[in-house]
Structure 1
Amino acid sequence: MRSVLMAIALVSLVTVSHAEEIRHSFFVAGPSFTGIIDESGEPVWDSGRPGARDGFVLPNGNVLIAWGNEVKEFTREKEVVFHYAKSEVNQEIGTVQRLANGHTLITELGKEPRLFELNPAGETVVNIVLQPETNNFHMQTRMARKLPNGDYLVPHLLAFKVKQYSPTGEVSRQIPTDLEPLGGRAAENWPFTAIQLDGGRILVTLTHGNKVVEFDADGKVVWKVDNDDIDGRPFVDPCGVQRLPNG
């Protein structure tokens, strides 16, 4: 996926002054490369397997990656120190996130779509049945994230909604992405990544709608960017997004 690449491209095109170039190293889960790119644009760490779904460089320097069938945590020397293989009942893994308490958050897509947490011993300590509103397994969900209050923010592509789930599985909030100001249902604004910002707003990529939108806590659009705003129309199914410290 072009997740982190799209985030870097967005920041570069929207916020960077032409007079002063800003550079970042970054992790990318891409279709032809999954690994780390340095500030000069050169690969410096290659997982050896492209086509990942999600991933993070952890504070200890290890790299946590989700592919469609498994999750692995690597040291920089490529020793695997954590592994999870997809359950037999489901079709795909959608996301991975290492939590502050050491648990690992994972989502699975399939006959029994779910979000769950594993402790460091690999035991399931949280298991939530998701409500994607579709039997199209591949389109049920993507990058889910845990919120500071213990809830979970989960994008559901074909439901055209970002749903907030409690730790016991209740849906406490829904943010629709097929709003008329965004082009309605015809714009195919499938939510792919949803991240809560420090102020409580929600930043969402609407992949097939080729836009990134910021919603307030009530689901009102407060900011967006799409191909009409940027020369060259660079958005082609944007998947991931990240708000950087420099804004």
Structure 2
Amino acid sequence: MKLTDEQKAEIKDYIITVPKYRETYNELFDHIVNSFEDSKVTFSIDEVINIVNKDFGGFSEIVYQEKSYQKELSKQYNKGFRMEMVNSFRWPNIFNNLIVLALCLTLYCNKKGLLFNIKPIILSSIGCCILVAAFGFTIILKNKYQYSKYSILDNYFGYSCSFGFIMVNGIFSNFLGKSSLFEISANTKLIIALSLFFFSSVYVRAFIKFYNQKLKVLTK
């Protein structure tokens, strides 16, 4: 039977609280609508329940499978993102790393005005990672507002766009900040700061490439 807009709205209202992610919700809704349109049964919520029980094993099974799939998907994308960072050290991507490394070596060899040099290095590293985090969470919140549900990729996406900031901020707090846990020389601080700068460069470029190739469409 062909469902009316009112009947479709009733289905949406009934299943809205079951799936956590919009991909599962959309798939469930489309399946229910198609099941009605492929059969001659009369529309009712009881029939919606029958479809869910028969084709999915019930609402509890949907929740379980959704959770399992989300974990598996996060593992897959986490591995892909780590490989993208590793690939930056392979040809031809390594050329960009060599440029950044040359810049770091130039700054290290110019040790005059050490305190002047180290501050902008640290700020630029943290600033780049903050921009990535702000970009990622803005997309997550915008899509949550637009679609009323989070994406199944949001856990991974939130992790990947905040990973750099967490790492850089953690190293800064423990080694470079005024209340750092370790007493280290000014020369060692410069080496750590330049290492952070190099890491943030690799991280930001890997995030941009992975987002454009794998996530840009999926997170919309």
Q: TM-score range by the shorter chain?
A: under 0.3
Larger Rg: 2
TM-score, length of structure 2 as denominator length: 0.22
If asked which structure has higher relative contact order (CA below 8 Å, sep 6+), I would say 2
